Structure 1
């Protein structure tokens, strides 16, 4: 009986999808993503979302979703105690990490919705590739709530922490055109682009993302991003 259970467990592990962020699309990943978009197989996980909202005094994303990098444990405790109190600064609400595979998924969906077939060859052609992220870039979207104004979007500081502890700045940053005013504060999505491999990070590593809001405080937060959970 134990042997039978062991075999079942082993088979389950072998059957489970194995992911790692794909810095540069190749034939196999492209085919799997396209086939998933067309319904020819189960969809491939092409992004990771971390829920930073608070319910019942805890992060929905788990107790280790956010820890204090600077400013002490009180920074996180204050966030958990009053997630909708923006007098001490805005709050990140959700974080999404993605790469080229996610953009290919949307391209494939668009082709399907327009009654077209997207081949792997066409998807990897230079014309298509030029409309996606450059090779080696990782995109991080951060949904924020409670900004005092639109100008405060540029006051956020976001870094990745490398294996040697070095802080890695984004190669560029922007924001989605979704910002709106609610009750005197602003909410919307900030976007950052990183090149983790150049800093010695691996495509399946768990990478610490460090974040300071626009607030004039010592508080800085650390959020782990598991690159091994999506392609």
Structure 2
């Protein structure tokens, strides 16, 4: 009887936690969950997922099967694993990080908390609806005016509904111009390739001792338009600046909110 009871308790503990899935559009409950997490009223909610592509002992730190060759032959992968700091075939991807509106809200809520402000799900959703990040209320609790339909100059923009952000950490670029030579696509369930809606950089680019550039590329996709589910495993295809090798990275949208 005791073994059965312990088994039932363990099963309940493993299955009673909230199921995760990327949130394409925040609604009242998801926004409240993220805000409560930021203010310490509940356990931390994972709002991003990182696939670590560093190499240790001839293997990726990412789960087995996370990286496949899409084009260019097996040597594309074997040479990467054998010598990850050899950039003869072009730059290498160091990590991939996925996030959405929930991650933006978490940062905004943490900032509001740190500045002794309050934030509600209603005010947050109003801001996202206007295309800007939420702020909160002032120190005395009086609500700030709702965002205007047209965001004020200088307002930080929020992610549009249905948009997924993917940060690609890169090292080994010969110069900054080469950042624009990367080709990145999502593969839909029908095999069709989905191009990003836009592309930008993080202001973190630096040259190493070897003169090679390292930093972060940012791509924005609309996976639902390609027929991908919010909790699916998706294929992200990346071809670096030299073009000879293309890789298929398996990303799990069920690992974050």
Q: TM-score range, shorter-chain basis?
A: over 0.9
Q: CA–CA distance in 2 between the matches of 1:223 and 1:39?
A: 34
Aligned with residue 171 of structure 1, among 179, 197, 215? 197
Pairwise CA RMSD of aligned residues? 1.3
- Paired with 1:43 and 1:129, the residues of 2 have a C-alpha distance of 27
Counterpart for residue 204 of structure 1: 231
The within-5 A match list for 1:15-34 is 15-34=16-35
Residues 1:42 and 2:43 are matched in the alignment: yes
Structure 1 position 184 matched with structure 2 position 211: yes
2:52 touches 2:60 (CA, 8 Å); kept in 1? yes
- Decide whether the 8 Å contact of 1:122 with 1:128 is kept in 2: no
SS at match of 2:81: helix
Matched, 1:139 2:160: no
Question: What is the CA-CA distance between 1:6 and the residue it aligns to?
Answer: 3.3
* Distance (Å, rounded) in 2 between the aligned partners of 1:154 and 1:204: 30
Q: What is the aligned residue count?
A: 230
Of 128-137 and 109-118, more deviation after overlay is shown by: 128-137
Q: Distance in 2 between matches of 1:108 and 1:127?
A: 13
Post-superposition shift, 1:83? 0.1
User: Under a length normalisation based on structure 2, what TM-score does the superposition of the two structures give?
Assistant: 0.86
Shift of 1:127: 6.1
Partner residue in 2 for 1:193 = 220
- Equivalent pair of 1:52/1:65 in contact (CA under 8 Å): no
The superposition leaves residues 140-173 of structure 1 with CA deviations (integer Å, 9 ceiling, x where unpaired) of 0000000010000000000001000101100110
Question: Closer, same or farther in 2 for the Cα pair 1:144/1:127, shift >3 Å?
Answer: closer
- Relative to structure 1, the CA distance from residue 65 to residue 229 in structure 2 (aligned partners, 3 Å threshold; closer, same or farther) is same
Give SS of 2:162's match: coil
Long gaps (5+) in structure 2: 133-157
- Whether contact under 8 Å (2:66, 2:251) holds in the other structure is no
SS class of match (2:168): strand
Structure 2 counterpart SS, 1:10: helix
Runs of 4+, deviation exceeding 6 Å:
none
